[in-house]
Chain A
Amino acid sequence: DSGVTQTPKHLITATGQRVTLRCSPRSGDLSVYWYQQSLDQGLQFLIHYYNGEERAKGNILERFSAQQFPDLHSELNLSSLELGDSALYFCASSVAPSGRSEEQYFGPGTRLTVT
């Protein structure tokens, strides 16, 4: 158990809908990263938040957005869902924003299925 929690574990929804995925980092970690894992693209970095502020964006679509709240939990919002958005979504947390210790601890993931 990495100490990172994600909810829900599974999510099935229809095209065009909007969903919110939730992540709670390990106790004491200030950074939260979101990743998408699909069969054809592998693990792709989406976005990074540190202590409530966005620090970096990766391959994140404009239909997707995220935020990190004062209690450090984070939410990933996916809107206007398409079939191709079906994937595993992981969040990871770490202590530092860009320090020398950048071990990222991953949560169990949310499996999103868009039908």
Chain B
Amino acid sequence: GESVGLHLPTLSVQEGDNSIINCAYSNSASDYFIWYKQESGKGPQFIIDIRSNMDKRQGQRVTVLLNKTVKHLSLQIAATQPGDSAVYFCAENRPGAGSYQLTFGKGTKLSVIP
């Protein structure tokens, strides 16, 4: 079936460098995308979202880019810090039947090297 997937399962980054986490989605009907961060032993934490009528959105140290042509989503973290170490999930929100259901990718583990 259709799913959201990730290109890289693990990513190691030097502290202070920028991180880029990628995600591919397959459902062209999805119109809302979210990035979540999950630290060990905790629930997913909302980072940033983007709607399909946008191609870029910036938050504090994070930027999400959406390329609908190739169904690709990326999360950029500027000046990566040790506290950014976590698993990052992209999720797509598929409209339908009066409910939005989040479909999650497998996740990418980000390790920040001090």
Contacts and interface: CB of A to CB of B under 8 A. Distances in A.
Counting chain A CB atoms within 10 Å of each CB, which of B41, B98, B100 scores highest?
B100
A66 B105 CA distance: 24
Given A42-B104, A56-B101, A98 B95 contact: yes
Interface residues of A, number: 26
Interface in A64-115: 90, 92, 97-98, 100, 102-109
Interface residues of B, number: 27
Contact of B99 (A48, A106, A107): A48
A4 B98 CA distance: 23
A98 B102 contact: no
Contacts, number: 61
Given A42-B106, A103-B34, A90 B44 contact: yes
B98 A103 contact: no
Interface string B70-94: 0000000000000000000101010
Interface string B37-66: 000011111100101000000000000000
